Structure 1
């Protein structure tokens, strides 16, 4: 058995997990929002992953996995959808806690529109390739929904900053996965353009994965906040009624 992919997963989550008890970020207190976001997103991406294995979009090098499989996927690949989102949401929260000022706020819609336009352009030229089609189609739908349908809370300016920072560990982790390689890509199903050994689409795969996780994370936080506000209003009304007697 080879533990390469498993060790990569452990390396991804090790420091974010240890540092979750940082006093300023208090990330451990937000696990009740983090975990459902990761689980829901994970189900979506695992279905996507299974489809890609069936379509021969990518496969896994048996020399670098321990050999345990669930639903036809290596255990390490399933863990990937826990460790990477956890680390990325941790980065997102750390940046928000330590650097609350964010100059991207006034540019976030323009940046989103730029990415939406990029998705349309790439889909026009690469729609016949499964990885390109599903990857950019998914990103387009999620991004368009968040910017033009979701009006309850705005967070994209914080998301883009976290995404940029997340690209640093992304190049390290994905660099290992694609250089060894642990994950083997079928270039007939992607654009065939790589940054080093990393397929171009992987950058936007990360964006879609992180975006869905952060959206659900913020969604669950907002629901909790709204419930708290409703309870506070009800309590004030109750006290007001009692005060009238």
Structure 2
């Protein structure tokens, strides 16, 4: 079970933020936009990871990864660079939608009371 801990944490992050998709225009419903926001940054961090691994700055304990992926960068690490920003986008989108709604309601109430 230890081999799946990293994947389980990533899955938990996705599961927790999945309901946030209902707010606003959504993140999953704008796949191109989401990919354009995540993939270039993920590519930079994968290169960064490779440099650090080859420079022996860090590595991954094989007991805690599945062994799937590039020889040096585990699948879980690649998914980290997609999942965590995706969760961040879902959270940001939900908070922005809720705050915009609340501000609009406050302005409407303020306009009605004057």
Map Cα deviations across residues 144-200 of structure 1 (whole Å, 9 max, x no partner).
xxxxxxxxxxxxxxxxxxxxxxxxxxxxxxxxxxxxxxxxxxxxxxxxxxxxxxxxx
Give the match for residue 12 of structure 2: 11
Q: Secondary structure at the match of 2:59?
A: strand
Q: Which residue of 2 aligns with 1:99?
A: 99
Indicate how the Cα distance of structure 1 residues 71 and 42 shifts in structure 2: closer, same or farther if over 3 A, else same. Answer: farther
Write the distance in 1 (CA, Å) between the matches of 2:19 and 2:98: 18
Look up the match of 2:70.
70
Aligned equivalents of 1:99, 1:40: Cα separation in 2? 29
* Partners of 2:17 and 2:90 within 8 A in 1: yes
Q: TM-score, normalised by structure 2?
A: 0.76
Other-structure match for 1:105: none
Q: Does residue 50 of structure 1 match 2:84?
A: no
Larger radius of gyration: 1
1:17 Cα deviation from its structure 2 partner: 3.0
Q: Which residue of structure 2 lines up, in the alignment, with residue 61 of structure 1?
A: 61
Aligned residues, how many? Answer: 99
Shift of 1:87: 0.2
Structure 1 unmatched ranges of 5 or more: 102-245
* Structure 2 unaligned spans of 5+: 104-114
Q: CA 1:68/1:29 → structure 2, altered by over 3 Å: closer, same or farther?
A: closer
Q: Secondary structure at the match of 1:72?
A: coil
Note the 1:151-170 alignment, pairs <5 A. Answer: none
Alignment of 1:64-213 (within 5 A): 64-70=64-70, 72-100=72-100
Name the residue aligned to 1:176.
none
Mapped pair 1:39 → 2:39: yes
Cα distance in structure 1, aligned partners of 2:38 and 2:66 = 24
TM-superposed CA distance for 1:69, in Å, is 2.4
Structure with more of its chain in strand, by fraction = 1
Aligned alpha-carbon RMSD (Å)? 1.8
Give how far 1:25 is off: 1.9
**Partner SS state of residue 86, structure 1:** helix
